[in-house]
């Protein structure tokens, strides 16, 4: 570990001091069979954090075999749901006890502000407890009333389930993904993003300490095109879940299609916020600027197209410009920082590239954005940017995944709705007005998986989350729908 960070917890220092970070297979720290490695870096300083094992297809085979063994032999799949629930609560306890440790590992690895990372780890705990409790109260055997037949249905777990995750919310998304699968009695193989493998590796170790049966939670690390591709194309995987970009989502869906493996896809977005002329302009500007700068705009469900009623447009722009120009960009581990780095240099170039391309296509920069310099840190920093212009512009159409919002004006409800729905993405939008009747009307007609009213990025457990179109397939995240996805149905019939 090369990063010298003020306030590093001793347990984090000890974890990062390992010369090689090894993921977990069958309850043991596993080595890559060909000895391959890759490095993970601190996005805020550019310094190396760890050397990590790079798993090839053979290593992924071993992980799937361990997950299958645990499914068949550990008793995990067949134990009474309350016992399984108790074990998941125990794992949640272990995670909860270590929130500061995991959050610091995550903050360093993902470039995330430490307080935000603590919120992510707490969310993992809440998600695991939510499904641990729910699974105990859902009947898995249902008698059917059918004339002249005795008939019933059963719900069985599938077996090994694969999960591929992105780098923006590494630990939180692991919680959203694996909790329903585990609560339903499945075993899992987790492939974290190569930029942020550390919190998943730490979880593998914690699962062991929490007394989870060996092989119920397995972690494989490596690059997408090798380790990720081996996970998504593995015929032993009974279900797959992928969270990431639409481009890779298509590859994963194709690989699963070849094996006829059911797959859930949680992909990108180009969400809109529709701001009517009866809002509190300052409060709305506060919230939307807060949302687009949160985790440096690397949030799939962000509102990146701000559609504002003509009558309040200028006032809204003034308020946003003021706020965006004052955002303090800095190192993620510094208390004074409001917005940290983006995850890597590729992502920084992507954000800067969209500003250039957008301007070339005629957009105007109201807040200039661009590269940011943080003294003493060779990290990947950008400033927030605000653009305006035609919604045909590339910066208004494509996902940038950075702190860049794009403004356009509207006059009527119909016009606003047409603008919201003029995209192939369909993840999340919001509508802002003091007329709640109007909000409900618009919220129901926005073509996406999720609509929010007078807020953006709202995730209470129990409300299904997911995208349509280019934003995904399957949805139901954080609600009972996803738990049911992790059971397969069987019907049994006897003519009388």
Nearer to ligand NAD, 187 or 196 (CB): 196
Do 476 and 464 touch, CB atoms closer than 8 A? yes
Which residue is it, tokens 């599938």? 158
Fill in the DSSP letter of residue 377.
B
Q: Phi first, then psi: what are they for 71, rounded to 5°?
A: -65, -40
Nearer to ligand NAD, 8 or 126 (CB): 126
Burial of 47 (0-12, 13-18, 19+ CB in 10 A): middle
Helices then strands (H, E): number in the chain?
16, 20
**Selection from 156, 154, 161, 132 nearest residue 68 by Cα:** 161
Q: Which stretch binds ligand NAD (CB under 6 A): 100-108, 158-166, 285-293, 353-361?
A: 158-166
Report if residue 485 touches ligand NAD, rule: CB under 6 A. no
Nearer to ligand NAD, 221 or 433 (CB): 221
Nearer to ligand NAD, 214 or 399 (CB): 399
Report if residue 399 touches ligand NAD, rule: CB under 6 A. yes
Q: Which stretch binds ligand NAD (CB under 6 A): 1-9, 105-113, 167-175, 486-494?
A: 167-175
- Annotation marks residue 266 as catalytic: yes
Report if residue 193 touches ligand NAD, rule: CB under 6 A. yes
For the CB of residue 465, give the shortest distance to ligand NAD in the complex, in Å. Answer: 7
Interface with ligand NAD in residues 215-244 (CB under 6 A): 224-225, 228-229, 232, 243-244
For the CB of residue 428, give the shortest distance to ligand NAD in the complex, in Å. Answer: 9
CA distances from 183 to 48, 131, 166, 332 (A): 36, 6, 23, 34
Which residue is it, tokens 């992980």? 63
**Selection from 364, 378, 325, 351 nearest residue 46 by Cα:** 378
For the CB of residue 230, give the shortest distance to ligand NAD in the complex, in Å. Answer: 8
For the CB of residue 313, give the shortest distance to ligand NAD in the complex, in Å. Answer: 28
**Selection from 152, 198, 176 nearest residue 18 by Cα:** 198
Interface with ligand NAD in residues 267-296 (CB under 6 A): 267-269
Other residues' Cβ atoms within 10 Å of the Cβ of residue 323: 19
Q: Which residues of 393-405 are buried (b: 16+ CB within 10 A; e: fewer)?
A: bebbbbbbbbbbb
Which residue is it, tokens 């407890």? 129
Residues in contact with ligand NAD, total (CB under 6 A)? 30
Interface with ligand NAD in residues 413-442 (CB under 6 A): 427
Nearer to ligand NAD, 5 or 243 (CB): 243
Which residue is it, tokens 């303090």? 328
* Active-site option among 94, 114, 194, 266: 266
Report if residue 389 touches ligand NAD, rule: CB under 6 A. no
Catalytic residues: 266, 300
**Site residues (CB under 6 A) for ligand NAD?**
164-169, 191, 193-194, 224-225, 228-229, 232, 243-245, 248, 251-252, 266-269, 300, 399, 401, 427, 467, 472
């Amino acid at each position: 570990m090369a990063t010298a960070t003020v306030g590093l917890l001793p347990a984090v220092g000890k974890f990062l001091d390992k010369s090689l970070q090894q993921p977990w297979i069958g309850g043991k720290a596993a080595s890559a069979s060909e000895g391959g490695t890759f490095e993970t870096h601190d996005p805020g300083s550019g310094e190396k954090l760890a050397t990590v094992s790079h798993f090839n297809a053979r290593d992924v085979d071993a992980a799937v075999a361990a997950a299958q063994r645990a499914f068949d032999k550990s008793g995990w799949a067949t134990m009474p749901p309350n016992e399984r629930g108790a074990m998941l609560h125990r794992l949640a306890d272990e995670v909860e006890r270590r929130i500061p440790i995991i959050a610091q590992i995550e903050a360093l690895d993902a470039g995330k502000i430490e307080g935000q990372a603590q919120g992510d780890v707490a969310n993992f705990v809440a998600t695991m407890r939510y499904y641990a409790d729910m699974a105990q109260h859902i009947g898995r055997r249902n008698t059917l009333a059918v004339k002249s037949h005795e008939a019933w249905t059963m719900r069985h777990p599938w077996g090994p389930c694969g999960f591929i995750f992105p780098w923006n919310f590494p630990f939180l998304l692991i919680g959203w993904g694996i909790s329903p699968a585990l609560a339903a009695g499945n075993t899992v193989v987790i492939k974290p993003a190569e930029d942020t493998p550390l919190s998943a590796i730490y979880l593998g170790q914690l699962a062991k300490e929490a007394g989870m049966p060996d092989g119920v939670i397995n972690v494989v690390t490596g690059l997408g095109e090798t380790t990720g591709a081996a996970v998504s194309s593995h015929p032993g995987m009974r279900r797959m879940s992928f969270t990431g970009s639409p481009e890779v989502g298509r590859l994963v869906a194709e690989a699963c299609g070849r094996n006829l493996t059911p797959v859930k896809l949680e992909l990108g977005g180009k969400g809109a916020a529709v701001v009517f002329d009866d809002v509190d302009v300052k409060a709305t500007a506060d919230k939307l600027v807060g949302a687009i700068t949160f985790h440096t705009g690397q949030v799939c469900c962000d509102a990146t197209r701000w559609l504002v009623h003509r009558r309040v447009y200028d006032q809204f722009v003034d308020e946003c410009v003021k706020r965006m120009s004052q955002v303090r960009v800095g190192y993620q581990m510094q208390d004074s920082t409001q917005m940290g780095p983006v995850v890597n240099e590729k992502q920084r170039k992507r954000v800067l590239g969209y500003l250039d391309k957008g301007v070339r296509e005629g957009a105007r920069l109201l807040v200039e954005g661009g590269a940011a310099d943080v003294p003493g840190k060779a990290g990947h920093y950008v400033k927030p940017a605000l653009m305006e212009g035609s919604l045909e512009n590339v910066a208004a159409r494509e996902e940038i995944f950075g702190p860049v919002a794009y403004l356009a004006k509207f006059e009527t409800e119909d016009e606003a709705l047409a603008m919201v729905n003029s995209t192939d993405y369909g993840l999340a939008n919001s509508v802002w007005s003091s007329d709640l009747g109007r909000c409900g009307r618009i919220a129901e007609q926005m073509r996406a998986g999720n609509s929010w009213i007078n807020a953006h990025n709202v995730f209470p457990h129990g409300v299904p989350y997911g995208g349509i179109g280019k934003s995904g397939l399957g949805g139901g995240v954080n609600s009972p729908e996803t738990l049911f996805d992790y059971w397969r149905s069987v019907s049994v019939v006897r003519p009388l």
